[in-house]
Amino acid sequence: VNVATLRQQFGSVSRQRRLAAGLSQEELADRAGLHRTYISLLERGQRTPSIEVVRQLANGLDTTMTSLVGDLEAKLD
């Protein structure tokens, strides 16, 4: 697994979780304390998030970092 695949799969997980929560990119950005532009780049696999960003996203999605990373790892297997 290279870093581009990891980024793309994390973006895909983030997008799926956001849509499942019924949130727009702007709503998630507000809840997570991130910029809407950053959410957009992340979902398109154009940013590699730090664990701080993973934590902010988990907070914004009312889930845990462990749950997000578990979804990511399931996609990578």
By the criterion CB under 8 A, which residues form the site for a second copy? 1, 3, 6-7, 10, 48-52, 54-55, 64-66, 69-70, 72-73
**26-31 long-range Cβ contacts below 8 angstroms, 24+ apart:** 28/57, 28/60, 28/61, 29/60, 31/59, 31/60, 31/61
- Least Å distance, CB 30 to a second copy, is 19
Q: At its nearest, how many Å lie between a second copy and the CB of residue 35?
A: 16
> Among residues 49 and 60, whose Cβ is nearest to a second copy?
49
N residues, the chain: 77
